[in-house]
Amino acid sequence: MKSITIQGTKRESVGKKSTKALRDAELVPCVVYGGAETLNFSAEEKSFKGLVYTPEAHTVSIEVDGKTIPAVLQDIQFHPLTDKILHADFYQLSDDKPVVMEVPVRLTGRAKGVVAGGAMRQTYRKLKVKAIPANLPDEIVVDVTPLKIGSKLYVGAIKAEGFSFMHPDNAVVVAVKMSRTAAKGGAADDEEEETAEGEAPAAEETSAE
């Protein structure tokens, strides 16, 4: 998985006054936990651009006082009106300790149902996975080509090698719904007939590449 570097400065004081002063200076109060000690630090707000405002998943190298701490972003708070970053929580990575993080979902292929005029509905654009750092995937790739109108792709149908999903197996990642175009073209009758014949949910699913 790709990593970005955030330069930080250790915080000696974590009170409300010092926190406000940091934000006024366009610095973000941060904390990294999960290691031997919890570390409070601050970083420039602009350094979060490549971590937060991107669809990609990244680990983070936090550099404070000459030390580098590998971590993942666990939580981030934004101002409700200005969208300025108010606070960021990081979790320190260990080679042998599993971590949970969100990974983007990338769809490949063109669903048969879409070709027939149906509409694709993607419920999850990111999925939470659990793995040791070395096995964290950059993205979850799934082939939607076999999906017909009325078909759904479930989390349980996606192959997970070296990691596990933090979602129930029956969570729907993507589905192909009936559209007006498909209904006018008579695709509705064809799909209803296939469903009536007892097509099992497993047959509706597809797997990741």
pLDDT, tens digit (0-9, with 9 covering 90-100), for 169-204: 999 999 999 876 656 655 444 444 444 344 444 434
Q: What single DSSP character describes residue 138?
A: S
pLDDT tens-digit readout, 67-100: 999 999 999 999 898 889 999 999 999 999 999 9
pTM for the structure as a whole: 0.76
Report the distance separating Cα 163 and Cα 134, nearest Å: 10
Least confident span in 53-57, 100-104, 117-121, 204-208 = 204-208
Closest C-alpha to 45, from 76, 3, 10, 90: 76
Q: At 56, is the secondary structure helix, strand, or coil?
A: coil
The topology (CATH level 3) of 101-204 is RNA Polymerase Alpha Subunit; Chain A, domain 2 (2.170.120)
Q: How is domain 3-93 classified at the CATH fold level? A: Ribosomal Protein L25; Chain P (2.40.240)
Q: How confident is the model at residue 16 (pLDDT cuts 50, 70, 90)?
A: confident
CA 208 to chain centre: 16
Dihedrals phi, psi of 156, to nearest 5 degrees: -65, -15
Residue 20, pLDDT score:
87
